[in-house]
Amino acid sequence: GTLDATAWVSIFIEDINDNHPEFYPLSYPADVQENSPVGLEVVSVTASDRDSGIFGRLTYRIVSGNSDGKFAINPVSGLITVAGPLNSGQQSVHNLAISATDGGGLVSLVNANVAVSVIGTGEMPPVFSQARYSFSVPEDAARQHTVGTVMAAHSDPGKTDPITYSIHSGDRSGYFAIDPTTGRLYTQLNLDHETVSSLLLNIQASSGNPPVYGRAQVNITILDINDNRPEFTVMTESVAITENTSPGTIIFVASAQDRDSGNNGLVRYTLLNNPDNLFSVNSINGEVKILRSVDADNDNPLRYELKIKAHDQGTPQRFSNLTLLVIIQDENDNGPMFSPTFYDVQVPESALVNYRFLQVTALDRDSG
């Protein structure tokens, strides 16, 4: 015969530097007073790189807009600080272009823009009515659906400059937008709770020229609706047991997954049919048991086809079905039996060797 052997082989895929750093967000507005000391923290920029190891380590630098050296950037953290005296009369806005370079030398394809407003000592930013807002929206909300409204006002009652609202970060995919004039937050893409269940938006309100910025956060919870049904990995399964399987034995475990959350994702199991009332299913964990022994002493194994329903607890309730074929096979639990058990024969004395004088018969109720 043939000889064979088995071995496990681990394959490690080495990373190559095939991804450029990417900034999010791309725009960083900030304001700083003109008498700010050197070293004052202004804003931090953030980029990411999908590569790993040294290829994912980033270095930041200011590539334009800082010819007079008014600002400095930490090459590792991306923190921008004041590096020289600022004068709003000489330059009220500094637009800095920031690049990120990974450990393999790839540079960000799009630079970040940092717009620093240099403001007078008396300038005050708009103040939001709340430091943090919380809103919720169902995942089936239509586009342009109003989620909520934020509001900011001038801390100086005499100031009348219009206030402009914007989303600074926290929503990279652009699920939400904000009306720049009214502060109304609304949906601009279709939502899916199973993809994104919540977002924390960093919003800002700006006013004046050069602008000053007030900031707040908005936590948006995307509410689940029952839009997914429980799913079995396959729709048909089979299991073989012997006829003497003990009553109460677990012969199969049904398992379905529902991507929804809460009651919408809570799965329960029931039998849609139960031939001869021979089986049961645990409604919570899906364990299928045989309730009593059966006799399969024949040439054809017994076959039972069960329909198992997995349903969630949402409204409307969603479900899927599994077909389970249970084959009950014969077991060698019967000994041979002669029929009849007593024989009375006569043999002539002249019988030769190998003379055939009787045939006996025994039967076994097992199959195979």
Two structure tokens written together for 312: 């969630």
Which tens digit of pLDDT belongs to each residue from 326-352? Answer: 999 876 556 677 677 777 778 787 777
Q: What is the pLDDT at residue 367?
A: 57
Q: What is the pLDDT at residue 344?
A: 79
SS3 content of the chain, % helix, strand, coil (to 5): 5, 40, 55
Torsion of CA 343, 349, 351, 354, to 10 degrees: 60
Distance between CA atoms of residues 220 and 126, nearest Å? 22
Pairing of strands 93-102, 58-64: antiparallel
Q: What is the pLDDT at residue 332?
A: 57
**Strands, sheet with 279-281, edge to edge from the N-terminal-most edge strand:** 250-253, 287-290, 279-281
Q: What is the pLDDT at residue 40?
A: 96
Q: What is the pLDDT at residue 296?
A: 72
Pairing of strands 132-138, 127-128: unpaired
Element (H, E) at 199: strand 198-207
Q: What is the pLDDT at residue 127?
A: 95
What residue ranges of the chain have pLDDT lower than 50?
none
Q: What is the pLDDT at residue 358?
A: 72
Strand, coil or helix: 111: coil
Q: What is the pLDDT at residue 299?
A: 52
Q: What is the pLDDT at residue 62?
A: 98
Q: What is the pLDDT at residue 156?
A: 82
Distance between CA atoms of residues 174 and 153, nearest Å? 26
| Residue labelled with tokens 């990974």 | 102
